[in-house]
Structure 1
Amino acid sequence: MPAVTMSPPQAPPGSPPRRRGLPWAVIALWIVVVAVAVPFVGRLADVQRDENVDYLPESADSTQVVRVQDELPGGEGTELVVVYHRDGGLTDADRALAAERAAGVAEEYPLIVEGAPEVIPSGDGATAMVPFVIGGLAGDEEVSAAVTDVRERVAVDLPAGLTVEVGGAGALQHDAEQVFESVDTTLMLVTVAIVAVLLIVTYRSPVLWLLPLLSVGVAAVTSLACVYALVQVFDLTVTTMSRSVMTVLLFGAGTDYALLLVARYREELRRHELPSAAMARALRGCAPALLASAGTVAAGLVCLLAADLNSSSGLGPVGAVGVLLALAVMLTLLPALLVVCGRRVFWPLIPAFGGEGRGRSVLARLGASVSRRPVAVLTGGVVLMGALALGTLNLPGTLRNADSFVDTPESVAAMDRLADAYPDRATQPLTVLARTDHAAEVVAAAAATPGVAAAEAGRAGNGWTEIDVYATDRPESDAEFATIEALRERLDRVAGAEALVGGASAQQLDLADTNARDRTLVIPLVLVLVFLVLAALLRALVAPAILLAAVAASWGAALGIGGLVFGPLLGLAGTDPSMVLLTFVFCVALGVDYGIFLMHRMREENLGGLDTRQAALAALRTTGGVIASAGVVLAATFAVLASLPVVNLVQIGFVVAVGVLLDTFLVRPYVVTAAAWLLGRRVWWPGSLSRRAPSNSRTR
């Protein structure tokens, strides 16, 4: 009997070829990339810049003051003030101790003004301050070492009842660095833990959650190395804030992309026997939406390059790098890992070939209520968002430098005590620089300015003279800001003096002014660019307008909730000047992200024959669950920022997290769906879908 030969089964027509080695090649490539990137990750912390002057543009007066100070004898000085206090009044021995230790500091460090610093008692005799400026300190490490040493010197062997604190700009810088050092590690650990928990809850699998988390980790390492390269090549300004925001954005967006891909892959595993075939189909189905989504977020972030503020303009490319690398990893490494692991990675809920999917999500069932009362749903949603937005009227005023931390460091406590003990004059001088041959005129003009208590010339060199100007009002108060503006206006009239007004308070004023200018430029730019991207993707003008209006409403409502929470509940004394612009960019870019998934699927359903109303419900039914999961993950990662000890990160994290949740559970399923239901196919105007009747459903 002749032998019977069995030919291998043939792949069905149109199925992808079996390339068994491709997933392993992709995994090997990413291993090489990580190996190259790891040595550069730790170097990023060395080039981060967190001083106010690093945030400001070169054109700002306060920035120019620092640049000129660098050329003066002793360079840019490190301002410190030692504050002694005893309830009931300082004794003669206390004042003698303060003078002795001031002399010791003068012997140890090169002071800008030679000789022992003066001990200045307060009017009530309970407090004394010893201000001085150390010259010649190069870099943050030397400043921190000097602050630590001075604190140890003045605090040793104090008599009972006498307290001492060291404040001033140099001490505040040191305390800020101590806080920032803990931020990166804490943020990474907490973010990883939260994402891991949410993935386990979402997938209900002891193994599957590891693959997205591993992929996000690869993207994080690669992103940090790329950002370091950008700093070296383009002298990009990277701050603790921008690095922290990139971390949560990368973990949040990367996990969202993973959720969407895995959901589609699970769906395709029920239709295809081979995991490789299912993955190929899943990538073809969701890659366009993921590319458009990441591209929109990156485009919105790149708009920040138009900002004058260095911290904001630097955040743009930093965030864009994180998002794009997260996308690259989720479209290459994660699919390779899933294919290699096969169906068993979903255990115990393994999707069977030919099996049925799960029923409708709770979100989809809730959204279906729109069909019964679309006008009421839309009106109620708009009214609710508008009412919440009124909370913005309760936002606290501009954040002072001293109020930048959730907990009160020693430097801030010292300056608060000084403000109470010396109410008739500011204890933190403004720094005025003028040409030496006009210094006397500038001193006289400054002293005659309303709101100025005293003005005295200091060191000189290279044709410039430094002048200390003391205002009558509390540092960084509205009254002192008004004094700074009046001082600048008056000194500008001193011909030939080229006077510049700087110092810590002037830097805060310049930060607020620069942020205000950036908002008027960047916000319209983001709206126009995102609208154009959406119009090209959806081939319509009405649908993009609805999406943009919806995410803007979510942002306004989230900002309003912040106004009800920041001061009354969290006790935050001010609003960071950059918070409004940055939260707008993130809320719009990330909110539109989910709108792309919903509207793109709705357009597909329309093209498939459903009328626009039914297509809206079908899109919500198929994408609602995964969008809800993605929204929770993204909100949770940004909420991690709200747990950190830095006020601007707390505010950014809170507003973005609340905005994402509002967009996910209110705006997307109700407001947008109701608007689409009421508009019918006009939502696609002027595209072809607005004129084309569906083939198998009732029309409108």
Structure 2
Amino acid sequence: MTDTSVSRIPDSPHPPPAPPPSRWNGYVAAVTGRRSKWAVLAAWLLIVLIAGGFAAKVADVQDNDPASWLPADSQATRAVEIAERHFAEHDRATAVVVYTRDGGLTPADLAKADRDRGATPGATAPTRSADGRSVLFSAPVPMASNDNGVLGDAVGRLRKTTGQAAPAGLDVRVTGQAGTIADYIEVYSGMDGVLLAVALAVVTVVLLVTYRSPVLWSIPLLATFLGTWTALGAVYLLARHAGLKVDGQSSYILMVLGLGVGTDYALLLIARYREELGRRADRHEAMAHALRRCLPAVTASAATVVIASLCLVFGRMNNTQGLGPVVAIGVAVVCLAATSLLPALLVVLGRWVFWPRRPAVAPAGPDAPAAAPGTGLWGRVAAAVDARPRLIWIGSAAALAVLAAAAFTLHSGQALDEQFTGTTDAIAGQRQIARHFPAGSAEPADVYVADARAGAVLARVGRVGGVTSAARDRSAGGYTHLTVVLADEPDTPAARATITRVRDAVAGTGAVVGGQTAVALDTSRAQGAEEALLIPLILAVVLIMLVLLLRALTASLLLIASVVLSYGAALGMAGLLYRALGHPRIDRGLLLFGFLFLVALGIDYTIFLMSRAREEAHLHGHRAGVLNGLRVTGGVITSAGLVLAATFGVMAVVPTVSALQQGLLIAGGVLLDTLVVRSLLIPALALDAGKRIWWPARVDD
């Protein structure tokens, strides 16, 4: 870990002059004032007391029903609506109970299955496999719209009932849609607390190593935690009273992102505050200067993430639309905590929080010349970049491009048994069904058609390749429900292709095709449409924010190109890791998720570097400004990158493949941005381009 304890700016002959009056002065004065700082702390105490009471209830407003997240115009959504309106299947999912004995079912096994079926309301007639080794039946399970505890409890009782008094050697599993959802509920139950605890522990360790102080680490951690907790409370209130959609994924992303981003902002502010304490005896004045210098970069960084996240409301998937505001709320609140609560706390506590390395004012006073140029790690990195800038940026870009090429090996379309890092009861049941029945028996497709056309549609569907059987189930409200068993496992590419053929076969009849595989197909198509719309939109937002902050079009375009290249490299590196870990297929949503966070967050470190380089360049010229910016920000930005990568890395605690892949992608991408893009590529490119990188602004050499 790098040392961020320097209290002087290397290579600067004198401290930066006092900034001119600006729009930040009133805010800075309120946060750092001798009396007003107490009002800031009191306000935060009140906010935390109010919001904190609701933060713990965020799980109560989560909606993890897959059907509720479908695009409104998809066939799968229309199928759900018909089922709810005419077939009284509102808030119900299907559980499939499968009994298997490898040596063949015994009379006692069949009797057990028959007793369980008789004790299960709404159970279908049993279906026995042709090889005599397995038998199954299905049953509806109630599922509340916003609290899946109803379904989880029902499936739990079914598993307990069917598992009791089973003959020795008989394998009994509960699978199907209800079994899968129940497994997800069990996986995420209590996970918010676990993730929060692990993330806090990781951040604590990184801060302890960074500051090497028994006290200082706790201050940014406290401010960041309170900001994140407040954001969770705000999300709960908006979900309860304003219709904000929240699921388990968006909740844990908010916690991880809040802790990581908030700590990043805190590290940047504390590093600048330490510098100013080395120049000024009055800690209020030192914090005022530090905060005024940091606010443009921190607020621009936060605003970039907030606005880019809000672009998600234009997505087609309901969960995409819900994730955007959740992320925006989290980043906005932790930014506010880092720029108000944290500085007020630090000013109240004074210099002693830096113990045992308390920064002291230089003996000659604040106007004394700076110390000799730094010779530490970042001084050596700056010297290396200065010596061969063109070779370094070309070499860095080439290495990233090679990694990016590996991204073309990624393939989407996870089957059910690829969605968890371990084997759940539903997965085990699905595998038993695949061995002894047509693989799609656990999750037949649903076809709803007007009664008058049911016969013709049934005949068409039965002739489609990949369909094992099709049969009438029941009629209601003028509609007939057909169940269609596919030859392939649900959610697989082969099963999705069969659904497409079924839809083509019934085109023009008014029939609607739904079911789990249809949901997966429509979701993938909607995600593809989202990528085409949202990725360019997010890029445009980030570019505009860069231009507004740096007032340099050339630099902004080059920075955008660098983060896109970094995103591609992160995808390629992650793809190689996924294969090594045995999880080669991804959920299609990972591409947009990764793009949003790696572009919006990855640009943070470049903003921190280039805003400081621009500040220094106006004082000392372009070349010295870039090198000084790299030297001064190197330690703190590296620490910030390690914190953010580590916090996203804790997503591996969640035993789902999607969470593992998300964590690895973001953590790896952040490290690439921190250690390669920001440390080598950008400063080398800036030096090679010269002062024209700041065009249309002017910086003298």
- Contact 1:436–1:460 (CA<8 Å) still a contact in 2? yes
Deviates more, 1:415-424 or 1:298-307: 415-424
CA distance in 2, matches of 1:415, 1:558: 33
Gap change, CA 1:606 and 1:667, over 3 Å in 2: same
Match of 2:468 in 1: 453
- Contact 2:276–2:290 (CA<8 Å) still a contact in 1? yes
1:403 and 2:413 aligned: no
1:468 and 2:483 aligned: yes
Deviates more, 1:311-320 or 1:455-464: 455-464
| Alignment deviations for residues 320-364 of structure 1 (CA, whole Å, 9 cap, x no partner) | 111111111111111111111111111100001226879455134
Deviates more, 1:181-190 or 1:454-463: 454-463
CA distance in 1, matches of 2:270, 2:439: 65
- Contact 2:299–2:335 (CA<8 Å) still a contact in 1? yes
Match of 2:450 in 1: 435
1:45 and 2:42 aligned: no
Match of 1:264 in 2: 272
- Listed as ranges, the gaps of 5+ residues in structure 2 are 1-17, 364-369
Match of 1:645 in 2: 655
Gap change, CA 1:659 and 1:418, over 3 Å in 2: same
| Alignment deviations for residues 170-224 of structure 1 (CA, whole Å, 9 cap, x no partner) | 1111111010113211110000111111111111111111111111121112101
2:94 corresponds to which of 75, 79, 93: 79
CA distance in 2, matches of 1:665, 1:148: 47
CA distance in 2, matches of 1:297, 1:424: 43
1:688 and 2:697 aligned: yes
1:421 and 2:432 aligned: no
- Contact 2:416–2:490 (CA<8 Å) still a contact in 1? no
CA distance in 2, matches of 1:539, 1:284: 18
Q: By how many angstroms is 1:450 displaced?
A: 2.4
Q: By how many angstroms is 1:310 displaced?
A: 1.4
- Contact 1:54–1:237 (CA<8 Å) still a contact in 2? no
CA distance in 2, matches of 1:540, 1:573: 41
Match of 1:6 in 2: none
- Alignment-mate amino acid for residue 363 of structure 1: W
Identity of aligned residues (%): 39
Map 1:251-650; keep pairs closer than 5 Å.
251-354=259-362, 359-423=374-438, 426-494=441-509, 498-567=510-579, 569-572=580-583, 574-610=585-621, 612-650=622-660
- Contact 2:460–2:506 (CA<8 Å) still a contact in 1? yes
- Alignment-mate amino acid for residue 590 of structure 1: L
Q: Per the alignment, in what secondary structure is the counterpart of residue 551 of structure 1?
A: helix
| Alignment deviations for residues 58-97 of structure 1 (CA, whole Å, 9 cap, x no partner) | 1111122222222234424421111111122112332232
Q: By how many angstroms is 1:630 displaced?
A: 0.8
Match of 2:186 in 1: 178
Match of 2:7 in 1: none
Q: Per the alignment, in what secondary structure is the counterpart of residue 285 of structure 1?
A: helix
| Alignment deviations for residues 134-189 of structure 1 (CA, whole Å, 9 cap, x no partner) | 56977623322221122122221122221211111111111110101132111100
| Alignment deviations for residues 452-482 of structure 1 (CA, whole Å, 9 cap, x no partner) | 2222222332333222111122222222111
Q: By how many angstroms is 1:52 displaced?
A: 1.9
1:62 and 2:76 aligned: yes
Q: How many residues align?
A: 667
CA distance in 1, matches of 2:439, 2:418: 22
- Alignment-mate amino acid for residue 547 of structure 1: L
1:197 and 2:197 aligned: no
CA distance in 2, matches of 1:371, 1:638: 33
- Alignment-mate amino acid for residue 50 of structure 2: V
CA distance in 1, matches of 2:160, 2:602: 50
1:212 corresponds to which of 198, 217, 220: 220
Match of 2:167 in 1: 159
CA distance in 2, matches of 1:458, 1:141: 29
| Alignment deviations for residues 362-414 of structure 1 (CA, whole Å, 9 cap, x no partner) | 13422421222222212211111111112223324312244221111101110
CA distance in 1, matches of 2:34, 2:439: 79
Gap change, CA 1:285 and 1:82, over 3 Å in 2: same
Match of 2:44 in 1: 30
2:664 corresponds to which of 648, 654, 677: 654
| Alignment deviations for residues 629-678 of structure 1 (CA, whole Å, 9 cap, x no partner) | 11111111111112321221111111111111111111111111111111
Gap change, CA 1:145 and 1:340, over 3 Å in 2: same
- Alignment-mate amino acid for residue 49 of structure 1: D
CA distance in 1, matches of 2:337, 2:180: 40
CA distance in 2, matches of 1:136, 1:670: 53
Q: By how many angstroms is 1:127 displaced?
A: 1.8
Gap change, CA 1:134 and 1:467, over 3 Å in 2: farther
Match of 1:133 in 2: 140
Gap change, CA 1:306 and 1:425, over 3 Å in 2: closer
Gap change, CA 1:424 and 1:28, over 3 Å in 2: closer
Q: By how many angstroms is 1:119 displaced?
A: 2.5
Q: Per the alignment, in what secondary structure is the counterpart of residue 153 of structure 1?
A: helix
Gap change, CA 1:519 and 1:73, over 3 Å in 2: closer
Q: Per the alignment, in what secondary structure is the counterpart of residue 159 of structure 1?
A: coil
Gap change, CA 1:584 and 1:425, over 3 Å in 2: closer
- Contact 2:433–2:439 (CA<8 Å) still a contact in 1? no
CA distance in 2, matches of 1:520, 1:207: 48
Deviates more, 1:34-43 or 1:194-203: 34-43
- Alignment-mate amino acid for residue 41 of structure 1: A
CA distance in 2, matches of 1:665, 1:13: 31
Q: By how many angstroms is 1:233 displaced?
A: 4.3
Match of 1:149 in 2: 157
CA distance in 1, matches of 2:379, 2:240: 48
CA distance in 1, matches of 2:38, 2:566: 43
Q: By how many angstroms is 1:517 displaced?
A: 0.6
Q: By how many angstroms is 1:425 displaced?
A: 5.7
Deviates more, 1:73-82 or 1:166-175: 73-82
Report the TM-score when normalising by structure 2.
0.91
- Alignment-mate amino acid for residue 640 of structure 1: V
Q: Per the alignment, in what secondary structure is the counterpart of residue 679 of structure 1?
A: helix
Gap change, CA 1:304 and 1:361, over 3 Å in 2: farther
| Alignment deviations for residues 93-147 of structure 1 (CA, whole Å, 9 cap, x no partner) | 3223222321222xxx2x1xxxx63222222222222233356977623322221
